[in-house]
Structure 1
Amino acid sequence: MRLSVLPVTLAVVVVTIVGGAAPAAAGTLVSTVNLDAGAGRHHSSATVTYERVDGAENSVRIISLQAFSGEPDCVWVEWNDPKDVGDGWTALNSEPPCHGGSIEETINQVIKAPKGHQLKIRLAAYHDGGLDVIHKDIAKL
Structure 2
Amino acid sequence: MRIPALSATVAVVAATLAGGAAPAAATTAASAVNLEAGAGLHHSSATVTYQRVDGAANAVKILLVEAKAGERDCVWVEWNDPQDGWTSLNSEPPCNGGSLVESPNLTIKAPQGHQLKVRLAAFHGSELVHKDIEKL
Q: TM-score scaled by structure 1?
A: 0.78
For 1:101 and 1:116, how far apart are their aligned partners in 2?
Answer: 36
For 2:130 and 2:71, how far apart are their aligned partners in 1?
Answer: 13
Once the 2 structures are TM-superposed, how far is the Cα of residue 25 of structure 1 from its aligned partner? 3.2
Which stretches of structure 1, 4 residues or longer, exceed 6 Å deviation after superposition? none
For 1:100 and 1:24, how far apart are their aligned partners in 2?
Answer: 38
Q: TM-score scaled by structure 2?
A: 0.81
Residue 81 of structure 2 is matched in structure 1 by 81
Residue 37 of structure 2 is matched in structure 1 by 37
- SS in structure 2 of the partner of residue 34 of structure 1: strand
Once the 2 structures are TM-superposed, how far is the Cα of residue 28 of structure 1 from its aligned partner? 1.8
Once the 2 structures are TM-superposed, how far is the Cα of residue 26 of structure 1 from its aligned partner? 5.1
For 1:90 and 1:102, how far apart are their aligned partners in 2?
Answer: 19
5 Å matches for 1:47-66? Answer: 47-66=47-66
For 1:63 and 1:139, how far apart are their aligned partners in 2?
Answer: 17
Aligned AA (1:54): D
Mind listing any 5+ residue stretches in structure 2 that lack a counterpart? 1-17
In structure 2, the CA distance between the partners of 1:30 and 1:81, relative to structure 1 (3 Å rule), is: same
Once superposed, what is the RMSD of the aligned Cα atoms? Answer: 1.6
Q: How many residues align?
A: 117
Residue 135 of structure 2 is matched in structure 1 by 140
